[in-house]
A and B are shown apart, each in its own frame.
Chain A
């Protein structure tokens, strides 16, 4: 079942918080994974894997580098669910 943007953001925030120890409230659409949230490429793959499981989508490895911000990831997951 497709999720709303808000549901995806909240789910993604939980995954990011679990991986990084950040507060879910810090995970906002405009935040950059690398520059703002200090997530390296290996942690990003962990987040991607958990997001794939949680939202029932496939995020190809070559797509991950295009997911610069949390908003980019929300949009991609939303598009993949539709």
Chain B
């Protein structure tokens, strides 16, 4: 009798390389303060943001994703043909179909890699790393390209005081592959759709069709609600990720939370009781909030500026619209 073959698992996975691409325009607080009747001082005090990076009109989310992916491939010493699967997280690919991932696969020479987009907003990169870890260890793919890519400037309203002024454009890419040693701890992830309106699109595409006067949909958030949820309910998720990875706050060298707001980052550090020796990612000050791209962008900055080094144990957590969240402890490439 014929016996069904299943994919052969491999024991460990790790992040082999990270690549980053930020929007080329440096947008200051003074540049955007007018329409929201605000000031550089207010924005800094409230968010920790000094500048945000945005892409010009000639670049879309796929251009950002392509640039970051090519840098990650080069850093890993791989070519597109080595990639078996692509997981791209974005909320700003302006076609509902086909996926950005499939087009990206073609652009980087990864065809016929499996390719799909995920919609997990600011948690999308950490969702992707969790999936890539599972795909590699299950034997379904050898090398997986995970990208968080956003051109959030496409869905902002310059007069919105809730979220638009935080947002930037960029893409971060990571390549996950097999490893001789453990490189990605268990992913602790979840969702809470009862808070679906906390971070939202102003109106749907069908509502726009019925009433064109509504104009282009943009993002809004209930800032204090999101602050409270992220600051106080995400710390236990991060703690669970450490516990499941068998490490404590004392073992962590680097903390890379989603770059939503410096006040959230500071509060999470406090809630987690991280020692001062832990390097905290604060890329938000210069890049702004780039949603799914923010964790890999922040990681790349720490590595390239020498604040973190290859082999360091990093705790990363993404959280955002859904609401959704995902956390894991990883070894930095």
Interface residues of A (CB under 8 A from B): 40-42, 44-46, 48-49, 61, 64
Contact = CB atoms under 8 A, between A and B. Distances in A.
B46 A42 contact: yes
A64 B228 CA distance: 12
Contacts of B232: 49
Contacts of B228: 45-46, 48-49, 61
> Dominant SS at the B interface?
helix
A41 B261 CA distance: 14
Contacts of A42: 46, 223-224, 227, 261, 263
A52 B111 CA distance: 53
A45 B46 contact: no
Which one of B46, B222, B225 has the highest number of Cβ atoms from chain A below 10 Å of its Cβ? B225
A41 B263 CA distance: 12
B267 A41 contact: no
Contacts of B227: 41-42, 45
A31 B56 CA distance: 48
- Main secondary structure, interface of A, reads helix
Nearest to A44: B224
B158 to A, nearest CB: 21
Contacts of B222: 61
A46 B228 CA distance: 7
B287 interface: no
A41 B231 contact: no
Interface in B273-306: none
Contacts of A46: 228, 231, 267
A42 B45 CA distance: 11
A61 B223 CA distance: 11
Best-buried of B222, B228, B232, B263 by chain A (most CB within 10 Å): B228
B230 to A, nearest CB: 10
Which of A45, A46, A48, A64 gathers most chain B CB within 10 Å? Answer: A45
A26 B64 CA distance: 51
Contact of A40 (B46, B261, B267): B46
Nearest to B270: A46
A46 B225 CA distance: 11
List of 6 A-B pairs having minimum Cβ-Cβ separation, nearest first: A45-B228, A41-B224, A61-B225, A45-B224, A42-B227, A49-B232
A42 B228 CA distance: 8
Nearest to B222: A61
